[in-house]
Structure formats: C-alpha cells, structure tokens
Amino acid sequence: MYYARTCTSEFRQTPREILEKHGDVTQAIDVMFINRIPFIITMLHNIHFGTAKLLKDMKNTMLITSIEQVMQAYIAWGFKIKAILGDGQFQHIQQDIQQKVVILNICSANEHVPEIERYIRTLKECVCSIATILPFKEYPPRVIVEMVYNCVFWLNSFPHRDGIHDLLSPRTLFGTYVQVHEKHNDSMESRTSGTIALRPSGNEQGGHYFLSLHTGKRI
C-alpha cells in the first residue's frame, strides 16, 4: 500500500490550525481497474488527499481490511473520519464498516460519488500519459501498479486549487533506466544491476523505489 504524504519539509505533523478547522473529514471510496488490476481508491473531501492500494482480490475481507488501513493512517495524522461515501458495490460490507463507528453512506442505485469518480478519471489520465511517453509496448502488472502509485504521489504533491490551503500540498523521476548498487564481496563481479526508476519512497533521505530488470521485483 502506498500513502503519498508530503507537504513542506518543515511540517512534521499536520498543522494544528488545519486540524481545528478541518479535522473532521468525509472520505470517498471506490474501486478502480486498470488492465483488470483492481485498486481501492480513497480521497478526503475538501483536503483532496488521495490514496491508492492494490487489491489482491475483491473479497469482503480484503475490501474491509484495505479501508481500515487507510482510516488508521488518517487517524494517525490527526483526522477523524465522520463518514465514508461509496457506491452500491460496497453495500455488502456496509454493516462491517459501520461497526467501526463510521457511517458508510451508499448512494442510490446506478449513481456514483462524483468527487471520487473525477479523481479516478484524473488518475487514469495521468497513468495513460506516463504509458504514452515511455518507450515500451507492454508493461508488467507491477509496473502498472507503480504507475498508479507514482501518479497518486504527484497529485498529492501540489496544492489543490479547491483545497483548504493555498501553499500546503495534500502531500521525485519515473521510468528512467539506472544502475542500482548491489551487495557485493571482494570479487570482480558486477556491483550494480539494471533497474527502472519507479517513484520516490517519500522518506527524508530522498530514496526511490526501482523495478529490477533481473528479478522483476520492486527494490
């Protein structure tokens, strides 16, 4: 799971004045598919902070666990979720979520939550833009997942025009071929391996995630 959270470096915690005015939040949720890969997408109203998490399956347990993990992250940052908005596909887990003392409001049949629908549309457009400029014809599922995470990172990294702060964002190269340092001994074997840069890890040291061209795994 990836929570792309960064504002400016001097803010280690959510500013108190933000929590006082906007600490009680409403969260919109939906499931997005790209190349049949499912993601649970969430966004906070007004704050316009988004998250994306890869779903291993569409079972109730997985959906509930994913939603709870995002809720716990928001709580850790000082926010209190007053309600969750979702469409009919979450009807079967409504009671389970509401046992967490959070109202899960399901919209009417054949309707959707407009805010999360627009966010998903923007997210898909960003992913398509990345796929268009990269010099590859096909993408492994892991790369598609990282495209989504990378887009969420950048959407969160700039202040939203309708957000609650003019300067603070709701939270840096993708697709570049690089050589990554590997563990080694005193032999003459290669000490680096070829990778594709995926996205920043978000830590203070400026670390990045990479896709190993030898193993196909993220490192």
Q: Pull the structure tokens for residue 146.
A: 């990282």
When mean pLDDT is compared across 25-29, 133-137, 176-180, the lowest value belongs to 176-180
Is 104 in contact with 81 (CB distance < 8 Å)? no
Which pLDDT does position 212 carry in this prediction?
Answer: 76
Q: 3-state DSSP call for residue 107? A: coil
Q: Where in the chain is the domain with CATH 3.30.420.10?
A: 16-155
What CA–CA distance (Å, rounded) separates 175 from 210?
A: 9
* Mean pLDDT, residues 208-218 taken together: 73
Maximum distance among all Cα pairs of the chain, rounded to whole angstroms? 66
Q: 3-state DSSP call for residue 74? A: helix
Q: Pull the structure tokens for residue 162.
A: 């309708």
**Residue 152, H or E segment:** helix 141-155
What CATH architecture applies to the domain 16-155?
Answer: 2-Layer Sandwich (3.30)
Whether the pLDDT of residue 188 is over 70: the answer is: no
Per-residue model confidence as pLDDT tens digits over 44-94: 887 888 889 999 999 999 999 999 888 887 777 778 889 999 999 999 999
Whether the pLDDT of residue 38 is over 90: the answer is: yes
Whether the pLDDT of residue 5 is over 50: the answer is: no
**Residue 31 CB: number of other CB atoms within 10 A?**
18
Which pLDDT does position 14 carry in this prediction?
Answer: 65
CA nearest 18: which of 163, 128, 153, 140? 163
Answering whether pTM is above 0.75, one says: no
Whether the pLDDT of residue 218 is over 90: the answer is: no
Is 64 in contact with 70 (CB distance < 8 Å)? no
Per-residue model confidence as pLDDT tens digits over 96-135: 998 887 899 998 877 889 999 999 999 999 999 999 988 8
What CA–CA distance (Å, rounded) separates 80 from 102?
A: 10
Whether the pLDDT of residue 29 is over 80: the answer is: yes
Per-residue model confidence as pLDDT tens digits over 130-176: 999 888 888 889 889 989 988 988 888 777 666 555 555 555 334 44
Q: 3-state DSSP call for residue 123? A: helix
Whether the pLDDT of residue 4 is over 50: the answer is: no
